[in-house]
Amino acid sequence: VLKHLRHLNFTNNMGEQVDFDEFGDLVGNYSIINWHLSPEDGSVVFEEVGHYNVYAKKGERLFINENKILWSGFSKEVPFSNCSRDCLPGTRKGIIEGEPTCCFECVDCPDGEYSDETDASACDKCPEDYWSNENHTSCIPKQIEFLSWTEPFGIALTLFAVLGIFLTSFVLGVFTKFRNTPIVKATNRELSYLLLFSLLCCFSSSLFFIGEPQNWTCRLRQPAFGISFVLCISCILVKTNRVLLVFEAKIPTSLHRKWWGLNLQFLLVFLCTFVQIVICVIWLYTAPPSSYRNHELEDEIIFITCHEGSLMALGFLIGYTCLLAAICFFFAFKSRKLPENFNEAKFITFSMLIFFIVWISFIPAYASTYGKFVSAVEVIAILAASFGLLACIFFNKVYIILFKPSRNTIEEVRCSTAAHAFKVAARATLRRSNVSRKRSNSLGGSTGSTPSSSISSKSNHEDPFPLPASAERQRRQQRGCKQKVSFGSGTVTLSLSFEEPQKNAMANRNTKRRNSLEAQNSDDSLMRHRALLPLQ
């Protein structure tokens, strides 16, 4: 039919020419009729409200007089002809079961999706780094979070790290200035410098965990932290073990000094640290850490963190550090009864306890946190362990150097060391005395000597060349010391005085005459060697 309509034209009964165009559409003029209800009888009245002239100019073919239009036969307002309202941007059309397709409900777009048009049939998903706004009409960039330098938490951690660097530098300056004093020499001056340097590295390594993670910071921060702490604990381990072995030796000889010289000490520190370096190199070669944008923790936030690459490597790094700390704790605990000037062992023991508490607490905290708080937890652990080591090992010495200079003397160091040697010898003699008494009792012999009579200290014999009273008091204040040594059921008062070269020959002769200490036991040589140990 369409084929014939294209070529059809005729005149209708009203005398009008009827034509069809090439598309088969009728070419002609139209009157636009509006149905009205008659107010008299309610009948339908056809009212012409416009016309359509196909032969008119384009844009003038349609004419409608809207003032004449009545809706529903009598209303001027256009009625709503659909069963559902239009859906606004941010929503989509949802199907209502049992209703025709023109009937729908408006459903809000879910989070992460948007619609920016009316009556959208579906919502569009936002790109990976974007999220929908509150009205779901558009997408906005996601919030990026990391442990920033500018946030209060990051500023606080940075200040504590800087404080640790300042205090460590201050202690290093004090030890450098008073490097020739007995207390600095007695605590192994060179290893103390290296220990303070490693603490500086520990405090500095915590700063790599603050700021936006980059690939190079992620690969540097864990090795820096691990190597710094191993270097620190290796120094403490070598210091403690050296003093313990020398004091437990029967007679300190040149062999001990040879094997425990500075070269061997630094070699042991290097070997302990080298193991950690090997662990870090293998880690960086096989599974290097890298910066990672985590979209999964929270929908609206991108957490920039460091992907460690291998949790096993991180476990080896921390585990090896804790192993050295455990060995150091063992030697420090074993050395807790050394002389007073060497009693940093008890401070080392306490610092190792702090170290263990910090890192044992770190493991569950590290596993249970996410996002930027992972870095914050590790920074707190590094700072807490570093402050514990610095305070326990060095603050007491700095206090003595600056505020108690009377205790920072050769006599004080020698006196406490000799007292320790005397105590060890007394206990050894007491044990032999008890064994002899038991044997004599078993043989029916006489009872052995009592503890109070088996050991004696003679320092009050007559002096044929007495000094004036004022000179005697000054000599005792400068060169003499008294200590009480308790063992078993008795107490021995130990009086010691030491020789030093003087320009005045008479003073030197009188001083030598008063420097006598007799202990009735076979370990007299042990006391003399150990009394001079801190100055060697």
5-59: pLDDT as tens digits:
778 888 888 787 888 877 777 777 788 999 888 877 878 888 899 988 877 888 8
Q: Is the pLDDT of residue 313 over 80?
A: yes
Instruction: Answer whether 207's CB lies under 8 Å from 147's CB.
Output: no
Where, residue-wise, is CATH 1.20.1070.10 in the chain? 152-418
Q: What is the pLDDT of residue 426?
A: 64
At residue 416 the predicted structure's pLDDT band, cuts being 50, 70 and 90, is low
What is the chain's mean pLDDT, rounded?
75
**For residue 529, pLDDT beyond 70:** no
Cα–Cα distances (Å) from 310 to 240, 279, 303, 316, in that order, read 34, 12, 19, 10
What confidence category does residue 224 fall into, taking pLDDT thresholds of 50, 70 and 90? very high
The three-state secondary structure class of 295 is strand
Report the C-alpha gap between 170 and 187 in whole angstroms: 18
Q: Check whether 332 has a pLDDT greater than 50.
A: yes
Confidence at 260, pLDDT banded by 50, 70, 90: low
User: Could you give the CA distance from residue 326 to residue 233 in angstroms, rounded to a whole number?
Assistant: 10
User: What is the residue whose two structure tokens read 């559902």?
Assistant: 84
Residue 164 in this model has a pLDDT that exceeds 90 = yes
pLDDT computed for residue 417 by the predictor: 60
Residues carrying CATH 3.40.50.2300, the chain: 1-68
Please tell me the CATH superfamily of domain 152-418, with its number: Rhodopsin 7-helix transmembrane proteins (1.20.1070.10)
Residue 487 pLDDT > 70, yes or no?
Answer: no
Per-residue pLDDT band for 170 (boundaries 50, 70, 90) equals very high
pLDDT band at 428, cuts 50/70/90?
A: low
Task: For residue 96, give the DSSP letter.
Answer: -
Q: Give, for 536, the enclosing helix (H) or strand (E).
A: none
Please compute the mean of the pLDDT values over residues 326-345 and round it to a whole number.
69
Could you tell me if 250 and 342 are in contact, meaning their C-beta atoms sit under 8 angstroms apart?
Answer: no
Q: How far is it, in rounded angstroms, from Cα 112 to Cα 122?
A: 13
* Matching CATH number, 1-68, of 3.40.50.2300, 3.40.630.10, 3.30.70.1170, 3.40.50.300: 3.40.50.2300
Assessment of whether the complete model's pTM goes beyond 0.85: no
Tell which wins on pLDDT, 532 or 304: 304
Mean of pLDDT values over 167-189: 87
More confident residue, 59 or 345: 59
Decide: residue 284, CB within 10 A, 0-12 exposed, 13-18 middle, 19+ buried: middle
Whether the pLDDT of residue 359 is over 80: the answer is yes
Higher per-residue pLDDT: 260 or 106: 106
**Average pLDDT of 110-124?**
87
Q: Which long-range contacts (CB under 8 A, 24 or more apart) does 263-269 make?
A: 265/188, 265/190, 265/191, 265/238, 266/190, 266/194, 268/234, 268/238, 269/191, 269/194, 269/231, 269/234, 269/235, 269/238
Distance CA 507, CA 530 (A): 26
Q: Are 495 and 302 in contact (CB under 8 A)?
A: no
Higher pLDDT: 138 or 297? It is 138
Rounded distance between C-alpha atoms, residue 219 and residue 394, angstroms: 32
Question: Does residue 281 register a pLDDT over 50?
Answer: yes
Q: Is the dihedral of CA 37, 38, 41, 44 positive or negative?
A: negative
- The 10 Å CB-count burial string (b at 16+, else e) for 234-249 is bbbbbbbbbbbebbeb
- For 108-112, 141-145, 229-233, 483-487, which range has the lowest pLDDT when averaged over its residues? 483-487
For residue 373, give every residue at least 6 positions away whose Cβ sits within 8 Å of its Cβ, in sequence order, or none.
none
